[in-house]
Each structure stands twice: as structure tokens, then as C-alpha cells.
Amino acid sequence: MKLALTIDSRPETIEILSPAPACRFQLGDAPPRDANVETPESGVYSVLVDGRSYDAFVEDAPAGLVVTIEGHRFEIEVHDPRRWSRKAAGAGSDAVQLILSPMPGKVIRVLAAPGDEVVPGQGIVVVEAMKMQNELKSNRTGRVLSVQAKEGATVTAGELLATIGVAENADPGEKTAP
């Protein structure tokens, strides 16, 4: 099975030629390598490769996985090269700013309503966790298309709170809130 990865923004591919524990894998065009892999705890991978011992700690994150080895931290996304580019292009459209919650927390204030004209730096939603308030701002001159956030609601990291369209013409193709 071949997987495409993004490791700290660098594209890479990995192919698992035989499964753990007697694992054989190929990274990019490098020669295949053998590794002995055990999982002593959930999310912990003990890897023996070329006589060296590594503990890799794998954590889910809003934007993929975070792998920590010997204090080095890698942000890794795993995707199927046949599909991801098409979808990503659609989601990342510049026409609409998606206001996402950057952390798990609680919506304590909604500062804008659908249809409001906004300017760059204007606060849209305030999320609080652990006594820290985070004001999420518009990055453009535009109009609020939709507000999903509700005051008092608990949100997860990456949850959609509001969308903002460009100023002059709200994209006809975009969904507009009622």
C-alpha cells in the first residue's frame, strides 16, 4: 500500500511492503528498509531500525497527526494522492474565509450577524478555553455569509464558526445564510 504524506509541509511517499512487527517499508525512491515495530501502548510505536531504538508518539491534531520522536515534532498528514488535490482545491477557495475554532472551548460572544459588512481585523466570534479568550477576526473587507457559532455552545478544535465572503460581490456560487 502506497501513501502520500505531507511531513512539515514537505511532500513524501511511503509504501508499506510488509506489515508490523517485521515491517518492510520504502520512503520515496530510497531503497526499502526493514524495521521491527511494536506498539507497547496505544499511540506509541517502538521502532528498531538498523540497530537503533526509537519511541514514536502519535497524536491526533486538527490538521492531521503530530508525531514526536526524541523531542522532535513532526506534523504529518496522510492522504491518498489520487483524491486529495481535487478536494483540497475546492475547500481552500479564496472567495470565502472560513472562521474555524482554533481550540476546544466555549463560544462566549458572537460579534457579527449574517449580512454584516466587516473590515479586516474586525472581531467575529470570541472563543474561550482555560480562562483565555480568543477573538477570531475577519481577514478581509467583506460580508458575513453565515454564523454557525452560538453563544454558550461548546466547540471542538477545527469546528466551523462563521463564513465571510469578499466585499463587492458575494459569490453567487456560495451558500448564503438566510
Partner 1 sequence: MPHPCGAAAWKWPNSRFGLRSVDKPEAYPTGCYNSICMFRKVLIANRGEIAVRVIRTLREMGIGSVAVFSDPDRTSLHVRMADEAAHIGPGPSAESYLRIDRILDAARRHGADAIHPGYGFLSENADFAAACEAARLVFIGPSAASIRAMGSKTAARRTAIAAGAPVIPGTDHAVTLEALYHFAATHGFPVLLKAVAGGGGKGMRRVDRESDLESALRNAASEAERAFRSPEIYVERLIERSRHIEIQILGDRHGNMIHLGERECSIQRRHQKVIEECPSPLIARYPEMRHEMGQAAIRTARAAGYYNAGTVEFLVDSDRRFYFLEMNTRLQVEHPVTELVTGLDLVRLQVEIATGAPLPFAQEQIEWRGAAIECRVYAEDPFNDFLPYPGKITRLTRPLGPGIRLDGCVYDGWTVPMEYDPLLAKLAVWADTRDHATARMIRALREYDVGGIHTNLAFFRQILEDAEFRAANLHTGFIDEFFQRRQPPEPPPDLVAVAALAAALHTTARKPAAATGATQTTSPWRESGRDGLLR
Kindly identify the residues of this chain, within the stretch 90-109, that bind partner 1 according to CB under 8 A.
90-91, 102-106
Kindly identify the residues of this chain, within the stretch 116-175, that bind partner 1 according to CB under 8 A.
123, 129-135, 154, 156-159
Cβ 140 to partner 1 shortest distance, Å: 18
Judged by CB under 8 A, which of 17, 18, 32, 88 binds partner 1?
Answer: 88
Residue closer to partner 1 by CB (options 52, 168) is 52
Composition of the chain by helix, strand, coil, percent to 5: 5, 55, 40
User: How is 107-170 classified by DSSP, letter by letter?
Assistant: EEEE---TT-EE-TT-EEEEEEETTEEEEEE--SSEEEEEE---TT-EE-TT-EEEEEEESSS-
Conformational region of residue 40, where left means phi above 0, alpha means psi within -120 to 50, and beta covers everything else: alpha
- Using CB under 8 A as the binding criterion, the count of chain residues that bind partner 1 stands at 77
Kindly identify the residues of this chain, within the stretch 35-54, that bind partner 1 according to CB under 8 A.
35, 37, 41-45, 47, 49-50, 52, 54
Residue closer to partner 1 by CB (options 157, 168) is 157
Judged by CB under 8 A, which of 11, 16, 113, 139 binds partner 1?
Answer: 16
Cβ 173 to partner 1 shortest distance, Å: 17
Judged by CB under 8 A, which of 56, 95, 166, 170 binds partner 1?
Answer: 56
- At position 122, the amino acid (one-letter code) is Q
Kindly identify the residues of this chain, within the stretch 64-83, that bind partner 1 according to CB under 8 A.
64-80, 82-83
Residue closer to partner 1 by CB (options 100, 170) is 100
Cβ 93 to partner 1 shortest distance, Å: 11
Q: What is the rounded distance in angstroms from the CA atom of residue 144 to the CA atom of residue 128?
A: 21
User: Binding to partner 1 by residue 25, rule CB under 8 A?
Assistant: yes
DSSP-derived letter for residue 87 is: H
Q: What is the rounded distance in angstroms from the CA atom of residue 88 to the CA atom of residue 78?
A: 13
Q: What is the rounded distance in angstroms from the CA atom of residue 117 to the CA atom of residue 55?
A: 51
